[in-house]
Amino acid sequence: MSTTTATPARPREAAPAVLAPISWRWPIVYGVLTLLTLVVFTLLLEPGQHTTFQLSRPTDLLAIPNFALPATATNWVLSLVLVALTAYVVKAAVDRRPVPVWAHVVLGVAFVLAFLTWVGAGRSTVIPVTTLLQGALALSVPLVFGAMSGILCERSGIVNIAIEGQLLGGAFLAAVVGSLTSSAYLGLLAAPVAGALVGALLAFFAVRYWVDQIIVGVVLNVLVVGLTSFLFSTVLTDNAQVFNARQSLPRLPIPGLSEIPVIGPVLFNQTLLVYLMYAGVVVLQVFLFRSRWGLRVRAVGEHPKAADTVGIKVNPTRVRNTLLGGAVAGLGGAFFTVGSGLAFGKEMSAGQGYIALAAMILGKWNPYGAVAAALLFGFTTNLGTVLSTIGAPVPSEFLLMLPYIVTIFAVAGLVGKVRAPAAENIPYIK
């Protein structure tokens, strides 16, 4: 009787790990900005020039005198910082590690400081840092409210292209109610109503009749522009003292904090609208990612059928979020009138709703990220205004294009791979 011995099975060799391709996007961006700083802002400077910066105002608790920096030496130091950052980012790309947020912050601060040093080199005018930051925060207010509106809607599955119309409607109703009552605060209370009405139309057509949400949003924008322009020409212009008188929210300085140099005037000497913006961003961040309500909203925006299976009412949730988002955008629209002490004008939102959408995308549908993007766009807008005032050696046409150029590059090339909520612009039919 013959016996056979079993041959032991050879262990299977593990498949070699497939490495992700190296992304050179950030190294290229860092390299271009570093090269620009080194060549244009440093090597082309005439030696012996100085740039004067202004940090404090006469009313500050601690007055910091204006100080002048040697332009060439300052930009050489900043160029070396950018070179080191670029080397770090290249190493991170080779190691397939993400670039940390602090690197982006240091890059932005160093590049802007080098640019301002180059602009002010050899000039008698000073670079007003506090004024620059104050204007940046002010111009970002409608963008922040618009971005929060987009997050509220899109996280639940509704694409809100109508932010532009909601901002404009809020500005209009705030001006009219504020003028009729001679109270900027009552105008501020009326602004969310106009935004919520536009949001109600969006929810009605998108949820009830399953109309494409992008088309509805564009149509609503055109509707609000036409309606407010008609009322402005026929009612507000003829009775400006009654319906379109200027009302302004007073500034509410926080004692002690508002007198801190630079930070105080920028953050703690603002109107009620700005303080509401601070609170709104924090509340939305916490509720969206740390509460049962936020979990349900995100479930409706990602997988509405699964959400419906566990008892979440999908369409009512979308309607509520769209109304709330419209009210938030309408509140932001009050900035254009009572928030700035201006009367209402035709199309005064000037495309800010679309830039708010870009801020939302750049922030990856996250409130904190959207705020950072909105501050970036507000800073570039105010930077162009300040530089044209002090006579910068930059063509005025380029300064006017600056915020839109930054918007295009940020969304198209720098945002990277982002994923919108999976169920947005998809009607839920039970």
Query: What interhelical angle do 292-302 and 272-290 show, nearest 10?
Result: 70
The structure tokens listed for 99 are 């670039």
What is the enclosing helix (H) or strand (E) of 53? strand 50-54
CA dihedral 338, 340, 341, 344 (to 10 degrees): -70
**Nearest alpha carbon to residue 407 among 385, 378, 383:** 378
Assigned CATH for 130-388: 1.10.3470
Most confident of the ranges 42-51, 265-274, 325-334, 394-403: 325-334
Answer whether residue 6 shows pLDDT above 90.
no
Contacts of 154 (CB under 8 A, 6+ apart): 160, 301, 360, 365, 420, 421, 424
**Nearest alpha carbon to residue 353 among 165, 171, 222, 211:** 165
Residue 69 DSSP SS3: strand
How many CB atoms lie under 10 A from the CB of residue 241? Answer: 7
Binning pLDDT at 50, 70 and 90, where does residue 48 land?
confident
CB 399 within 8 A of CB 133: no
**pLDDT tens digits for range 303-324:** 999 999 999 999 999 999 999 9
Residue 23's pLDDT is 81
User: From start to end of 63-153, where are the E strands?
Assistant: 67-70, 127-128
In terms of pLDDT, which residue wins out, 389 or 61?
389
- Range in 2-6, 129-133, 175-179 the model is least confident about: 2-6
Q: How far apart are CA 232 and CA 307, in angstroms?
A: 45
Binning pLDDT at 50, 70 and 90, where does residue 103 land?
very high
How many CB atoms lie under 10 A from the CB of residue 58? Answer: 5
Answer whether residue 416 shows pLDDT above 70.
no
**Nearest alpha carbon to residue 382 among 130, 127, 139:** 139
Output DSSP code: residue 6: P
Answer whether residue 8 shows pLDDT above 90.
no
Q: How far apart are CA 51 and CA 144, in angstroms?
A: 33
Binning pLDDT at 50, 70 and 90, where does residue 59 land?
low
Output DSSP code: residue 99: P
In the block, tokens 């919520």 appear at 196
For residue 359, CA distances in Å to 167, 221, 377, 391 come to 15, 19, 8, 29
Answer whether residue 13 shows pLDDT above 60.
no
Q: How far apart are CA 258 and CA 51, in angstroms?
A: 27
CB 374 within 8 A of CB 150: no
Average the pLDDT over 390-419 and give the result: 73
Residue 352's pLDDT is 93
Q: How far apart are CA 201 and CA 198, in angstroms?
A: 5
Q: How far apart are CA 161 and CA 140, in angstroms?
A: 19
Q: How far apart are CA 412 and CA 155, in angstroms?
A: 21
Domain ranges across the chain: 24-125, 130-388
How many CB atoms lie under 10 A from the CB of residue 222? Answer: 12
Average the pLDDT over 189-206 and give the result: 96
How confident is the prediction for the chain on average, in pLDDT? 89
For residue 68, list its beta bridge partners. Answer: 52
Average the pLDDT over 79-98 and give the result: 94
Binning pLDDT at 50, 70 and 90, where does residue 401 land?
confident
> What is the three-state SS of 411-423?
HHHHCCCCCCCCC
pTM: 0.90
In the block, tokens 């419209």 appear at 326
**pLDDT tens digits for range 215-227:** 999 999 999 999 9
In terms of pLDDT, which residue wins out, 294 or 402?
294
Q: How far apart are CA 421 and CA 298, in angstroms?
A: 8
The structure tokens listed for 13 are 């060799």
Binning pLDDT at 50, 70 and 90, where does residue 291 land?
very high
In terms of pLDDT, which residue wins out, 22 or 137?
137
Residue 65's pLDDT is 84
Q: How far apart are CA 195 and CA 216, in angstroms?
A: 15
Residue 1's pLDDT is 46
For residue 338, CA distances in Å to 138, 187, 188, 234, 247 come to 13, 7, 7, 21, 5
Answer whether residue 5 shows pLDDT above 60.
no
Residue 324's pLDDT is 97
In terms of pLDDT, which residue wins out, 192 or 15?
192
Residue 4's pLDDT is 53
Residue 335's pLDDT is 96
In terms of pLDDT, which residue wins out, 63 or 263?
263
Answer whether residue 400 shows pLDDT above 90.
no
